[in-house]
Amino acid sequence: MNLELFIAKRIISSKAYKSSVSAPIIKIGIAAIAIGVIVMLIAIATGLGLQQKIRDKVVAFNGHIEITNYDTNESDESQVPISLNQDFYPEFKTVEGVNHVQAVATKFAVIRTESDFEGVVVKGVGADFNWRYFEEFLVDGRLPDYSGNRNEEVLISKYLAKRLNFKVGDRFQTLFGENLNKLPRIINFEIVGIYNSGFQELDEKFCFADLRHIQRLNKWEADQVGSFEVFIEDFDDIEAKSRQIYREIPSLLNATPITQKYYTVFEWIKIFDNNTYGIIIIMIVVAGINMITALLVLILERTSMIGILKALGSTNWSIRKVFLYNASYLIGLGLFWGNLIGLSLLFIQKYFKLFPLNPDTYYVSEAPVYVSLDYIVLLNIGTFLACLFMLLIPSVIISRISPVKAIRFD
């Protein structure tokens, strides 16, 4: 039988223990751990959620890696065509972890109405386009279908629809300029769907149309496109996969990860990691200090018991274990309530979206939440071990207690 654990259980179950002088301090210690866990869970869940949401929005418009021509074109318009006849299209078999490749082309245009106009980038996509992300963004109508004959269906953003007073079913003129010496060419598109990604920098720019319109306007062949967008399975491998893809494509083509194309955005969201680490450290230190205080009060309150145990032959380490078992129980209580309240708040936000954010600043309209068993387990184990380790030092005070004086202590 584990004597130390037995004594710790008797102390915990004792009515005198629950109504003792140390009871309020113990409750404060438990509350400190619970509050710390709640704050840490919220910080991690919202930090990871925000990173993933912003990342997914950028991926939806660009793929993970773009394959383009080597040229000096820094604009959003495709100028030099690439042949569809590539070894990596439609399936990139030479690089593991690539799950989709799609061909696209973009062209500047001006949407004109009777009272207004707006400059946009028309992104031409084909039957191979991955609409998975836009299924989530869709707020009205349906997604375009470009699997049949060329059509005038177009998907525009809620931002553009609001600025130009468009709704699903409306038709509008789009002007495409070729050069200064020629009149612009006009295409009448029909709105079949309206999307809202919440990433205004992209929403205000892109609308989606049939790739064959861009090919016709640029006088390209049916097997010529502006670029390829590559999707990979694991975003964390984007840099390594980008280098692998670069080695596998022809020498006249370049592979660019979106982390490089949108460098400032991804550097900005990396800051969330530093903030999260800072919050975790602060919360664990605060919780640990409160538990140290509770442990010292427990030791002071049980001084007579310590003296008796020493007189009966118990070692200092054995007595320390009694109080560490006791403290472990208190830490466990704090973790339980912290997880219960913290996860409840996270799931409420996840499904009811009670806390909004400014999309102009955060690129999302509500605080996103990412809940994963992995980081929850690691957070609980790490917090438990960190608090317990911090309690090893104050428990040394037990070795300094004299049995004679302790037994007489009142």
Residue whose C-alpha is closest to residue 362's, from 94, 50, 141, 126: 50
User: Taking residues 329-333, what's their average pLDDT?
Assistant: 90
255 and 246 Cβ atoms separated by less than 8 Å: yes
Q: Which residue has the higher pLDDT, 120 or 23?
A: 120
Q: What phi, psi does 13 have (nearest 5°)?
A: -80, -10
pLDDT of residue 9: 78
Domain ranges, ordered by start, for the chain: 3-57+266-408, 71-251
Cα 333 versus chain centre, distance: 29
Rg (CA), the chain: 31
Structure tokens at 127: 């039957």
Q: Is the dihedral of CA 385, 236, 267, 203 positive or negative?
A: negative
Contact indicator for 38, 342 with CB cutoff of 8 Å? yes
147 closest CA partner among 130, 131, 127, 124: 127
The DSSP secondary-structure symbol of 181 reads: T
Structure tokens at 206: 């892109």
User: Is the confidence at residue 403, as pLDDT, over 90?
Assistant: no
CA distance 315 to 16: 25
pLDDT at residue 103, as a whole number: 95
Stretch 122-134: mean pLDDT: 94
CA 194 to chain centre: 25
pLDDT band at 191 (very low <50, low <70, confident <90, very high): very high
pTM: 0.82
Longest dimension (CA), the chain: 106
Where is average pLDDT lowest: 120-129, 172-181, 373-382? Answer: 172-181
Reported as half-sphere exposure (CB side, CA atoms, 13 A), residue 262 has a value of 22
Most confident of 75-79, 87-91, 197-201, 307-311: 87-91
Contacts of 323 (CB under 8 A, 6+ apart): 8, 295, 298, 299, 302, 395, 398
> Distance of CA 360 to CAs 118, 150, 198, 201, 364, Å?
20, 36, 9, 8, 8
Q: Please state which of the ranges 143-147, 164-168, 302-306 shows the lowest mean pLDDT.
A: 302-306
Q: What is the mean pLDDT of residues 295-303?
A: 78
Average confidence (pLDDT) over 346-375: 86
CA atoms of 81 and 29, how far apart (whole Å): 66
Please give the residue that has the higher pLDDT: either 181 or 142: 142
Q: Residue 340: name the closest of 38, 29, 39 by CA.
A: 38
pLDDT tens-digit profile of 22-59? 678 788 888 989 999 999 999 999 999 988 888 999 99
Tell me the β-bridge partners of 123.
106, 208
Tokens (6 digits) for 242:
């980008």
pLDDT of residue 406: 59
Q: Which residue, among 135, 146, 129, 84, has the nearest Cα to 229 in the 3D structure?
A: 129
